[in-house]
Amino acid sequence: GQQLNQSPQSMFIQEGEDVSMNCTSSSIFNTWLWYKQDPGEGPVLLIALYKAGELTSNGRLTAQFGITRKDSFLNISASIPSDVGIYFCAGQLSEGQNFVFGPGTRLSVLP
Amino acid sequence: DARVTQTPRDKVTEMGQEVTMRCQPILGHNTVFWYRQTMMQGLELLAYFRNRAPLDDSGMPKDRFSAEMPDATLATLKIQPSEPRDSAVYFCASGFGNTEAFFGQGTRLTVV
């Protein structure tokens, strides 16, 4: 099946730093989603992207739909302790198909 | 506010026992997904339903797993007999069509 790769696998950052992570594939996707999973909870939808080049923000989070449609990026500005968790990307190849999830990026924020 | 509700939150059972996990999707959503999450495999899609009809259960071990939607407000995932390798967190998610899915809090299953 289709695979998504997420980079980095994990990261440790200092509170206040900016964070960048990405999601890549060899296939072209028409929709990208970014989820965050807090420890012991289910994934929560953060941002949805529908068009190549689209840039969407949700508070301190900004996500972009890559121009090639094979990747997506998530940035977090001025990180805070509650940003800790696993960030998943999910891609949909075409309308009507199920989303494929990436393996996640585990973020730790040091005070 | 609307949310997907899963019960139980935690379940510890002995190998060979039957396990039933329940999910109440968000009212109005017509699609229900069952996912399994492990450290090794990440999030795996087990099965999904549209308008209560099973559309795809190819991700599910057929010999011991079964998923049903007795009505629009209840989805169940059953394992019989359970095995230690079934230990994982099982998530239910709901959505409208194949648009964004909203996840429940999960059922953490431990089979000993």
Q: What is the pLDDT of residues A25-36, one digit of tens each?
A: 999 999 999 999
Among the partner-chain residues B45, B100, B106, the one whose CB lies closest to the CB of A45 is B100
User: Does pLDDT of B50 surpass 80?
Assistant: yes
| pLDDT recorded at residue A95 | 82
The rounded percent of chain A whose pLDDT value lies above 70 is 98
Q: How confident is the model at residue B62 (pLDDT cuts 50, 70, 90)?
A: confident
Most confident of the following: A75-79, A94-98, B93-97: A75-79
Q: Report chain A's mean pLDDT, rounded to a whole number.
A: 94
Residue B94 is encoded by which pair of tokens? 């709901």
Chains A and B form CB pairs within 8 A to the count of 38
| pLDDT recorded at residue B58 | 87
| pLDDT recorded at residue B93 | 97
Q: Say if A66 is an interface residue toward chain B (CB within 8 Å).
A: no
Q: How close is the nearest chain B Cα to the Cα of A44, in Å?
A: 7
Mean pLDDT, to the nearest integer, of A62-91?
97
| pLDDT recorded at residue A1 | 53
| pLDDT recorded at residue B104 | 97
What are the chain A neighbours of B91 within 8 Å (beta carbons)? 42-43
User: Does pLDDT of A13 surpass 70?
Assistant: yes
Question: Looking at chain A from residue 33 to 52, which residues have their Cβ under 8 Å from any Cβ of chain B?
Answer: 33, 35, 40-45, 48
Among the partner-chain residues A33, A48, A88, the one whose CB lies closest to the CB of B43 is A88
Q: How confident is the model at residue A2 (pLDDT cuts 50, 70, 90)?
A: low
- Chain B residues within 8 Å of chain A (Cβ atoms): 4, 33, 42-43, 45, 48, 56, 91, 93, 97-98, 100-106
* B42·A101 Cβ contact <8 A: yes
| pLDDT recorded at residue B40 | 87
| Distance from the first to the final alpha carbon of chain A | 40
User: Does pLDDT of A45 surpass 80?
Assistant: yes
Strand partners, A43: A37
Asked if residue B20 lies in contact with residue B76, where contact means CB atoms within 8 angstroms, the answer is yes
What are the chain B neighbours of A35 within 8 Å (beta carbons)? 103
Distance from CA of residue A80 to its chain's centroid?
17
> Burial letters for A19-56: b for 16+ Cβ neighbours within 10 Å, e otherwise?
bebbbbbeeebbbbbbbbbeeeebbebbbbbeebeeeb
Residue B65 is encoded by which pair of tokens? 């797993």
Q: How confident is the model at residue B2 (pLDDT cuts 50, 70, 90)?
A: confident
**Helix (DSSP H) and strand (DSSP E) numbers for chain B:** 0, 11
User: Does pLDDT of A51 surpass 90?
Assistant: yes
Most confident of the following: B36-40, B88-92, B96-100: B88-92
Would you list the DSSP string of B78-98?
EESS--GGG-EEEEEEEESTT
Residue B3 is encoded by which pair of tokens? 């949310």
What are the chain A neighbours of B1 within 8 Å (beta carbons)? none
User: Does pLDDT of B1 surpass 80?
Assistant: no
